[in-house]
Amino acid sequence: MFTKKSALFAVLLILALVSAALTSVSAKTVNLKLIETTDMHGSFFPYNFITAKEVPISLAQIYTYVKEQRANPGQHVILLDNGDILQGQPTVYYYNFEKTDAVHVCAEIMNFMQYEASVVGNHDVEPGHDVYDKLAKDFAFPWLAANAVKAGTDEPYFQAYTVVERDGVKIAILGLTTPGVPTWLPQNLWEGIEYQDMIESAQKWVPIIQEKEQPDLLIGLFHSGVDYTYGGRTADTPLNENASKLVAEQVPGFDVVFVGHDHQGWNEVVKNSAGENVLIIGAIDAARTIGVANITLTYDEASKSWNKESSGELIEIKDYAADDEFMAKFNYVVDELKAYVDQPVGKFMETISTREAMFGDSPFVDLIHRIQLELTEADVSFAAPLSFNAAINEGEVFVRDMFKLYQYENLLYTMKLSGKEIKDFLEYSYGGWFDQMQSPEDHLILFKKDDKGNLVWSNRTNSYETVNRYYNYDSAAGIIYTVDVSKPAGEKIQIVSMADGTPFDMEKMYKVAINSYRGNGGGGHLTEGAGIPKAELTSRMLSSTIKDLRYFLKEWIKQQQVVTPEPLGNWEVIPKEFWEKGKATDYKFLYEPEPPKQS
């Protein structure tokens, strides 16, 4: 019988259930784990196709970690990539330029791993429109770059942002990429695209995302580094190559900013202009680490909003085994790539190493000079060591060795420069390469120094930092010259003559062989050094190869069959006793570094 007492009990029970439900809602907690890969450079498999050795780091190992995290029922995993996947290992070169009729291996692997989004890096533009336009369609996820817009418009060429949802939490991901592409790459590779300043682009897109999507979390996925002072830039430099931290600090709204491009490793919290914390996370390149943002959101019923707690970590991948499922699915790619890189090209009669190239004239760089001069019939050649520690051994040389000889897919330009511009180019190069030595006890290499004059040690790279990177250490062939390291920057170079002994004329226009990165203004050698306006560089170009320089180096060696690499001997560092002692000292600082002792 239904009495008043039972009715009252029923009402109380319903109220209790409603109260419990409300308490449950107000206390709802969602755990998110955002995983970032970045600057993979083709490191998909636990095998280095350049050195022909197994390695403990690759996407195959990363997938093991990802699967473990996805198996945890107490969290939601979001897998993201931060660009530069299409250059590096022969794996991507093969699918970029050789096996072009198949679905790109990048799309196959990343779709299999179920990435949610990726950003277009500068090296992803390097293979050209045919490659990256097709890849954007093959990806089962959006490829982002809000500040890469269709020329003459504000419409992104790729996608600006994406939104994913996990357990009622709405997550917006804005993609930005370094705007330096037009400085580094030939125009035909990015034809129809304009690159905007990252800060300005973020200032435009954040309000749009907030108004249209009303996300609970805003994530920045930026293919750009943290150190905005790199290359002598400042926080106010337009189109700053490494503006990720500037965006995090100056554009309110971001909860997490994932960074890349600089191959470092970042895990820090900064304050934005609204006084809010922003977590900055950046993995190290080539699958050495992954960046992880752990975010816990607790719903507050009173404010109808989420309270957020976040922390970052960098996970070392060498501690994980390659995933069996991954390897079984893609082992055919490994076999095919091994067959490709194992093809013989020719024979070297001497071993060559880039280590020598850090300190002076070397057979390694001079081989590139020699080939560039023969291919172009130029008067002068400029080239730099593109690897810090690469060697090609005496004996049979294979396709894989071509990736040691030339790391990047640069084209070969022929340009016209005056004698004075050639000298100023070299002054700029050596001014950022060699220090001014007062005695043989001084450093030959121009290292970064702190306020007390001590060399700057990087805990991230376990090395002493140089003012310029080795790939900006350009030397010349076709002329005879000296580099006087007792002189200050701007006064080191003395050009004696052309290589054949004829006079070198400061006023004469010369035909110069140079790679496309440098020819487009990369490194500043032509613009800041030689003083040629950026807008004038195109008019200085006489010719350009269609294929990359590595292809022509390979074909040249095939034609020669037997090559004896040797230094051209066309330049030397003086005073000789300064150079010899400085070289011996700095070899240890570069290749056998020991951290400074703590006082």
Residue 88 C-beta-side C-alpha neighbours within 13 Å = 22
Q: How far is CA 460 from CA 56, 268, 541, in A?
A: 19, 13, 39
Q: Kind of pairing, strands 344-348 and 395-398?
A: antiparallel
Q: Kind of pairing, strands 305-316 and 412-418?
A: unpaired
Sheet holding 395-398, edge to edge: 395-398, 344-348, 562-563
What domains sit in the chain, N to C, each tagged with a CATH number?
26-337 (3.60.21.10), 343-591 (3.90.780.10)
Q: Do residues 590 and 445 lie in contact, with contact meaning Cβ atoms separated by under 8 Å?
A: yes
Q: Write down the pLDDT at residue 597.
A: 83
d(CA 274, CA 566): 60
Give the closest residue to 507 by CA, choosing from 420, 443, 390: 420
Q: 316-329 burial, b if ≥16 CB within 10 A, otherwise e? A: ebeebebbeebbee
Please provide the size of the chain in residues: 599
Q: 189-221 burial, b if ≥16 CB within 10 A, otherwise e? A: bbeebbbbbbbbbbeebbeebeeeeebbbbbbb
Which residues does the chain have with pLDDT short of 70? 1-27, 599
Q: Write down the pLDDT at residue 304.
A: 87
pTM, two decimal places: 0.87
Give the closest residue to 102 by CA, choosing from 332, 292, 304, 298: 332
The conformation of residue 284, written as its DSSP 8-state character, comes to P
Phi/psi for 240 (5° steps) reads -65, 130
Amino acid at 114: Q
Q: Write down the pLDDT at residue 599.
A: 61
What is the C-alpha radius of gyration for the chain, rounded to an integer number of angstroms?
27
Give the closest residue to 586 by CA, choosing from 477, 435, 450, 474: 435
Q: Do residues 255 and 219 lie in contact, with contact meaning Cβ atoms separated by under 8 Å?
A: yes
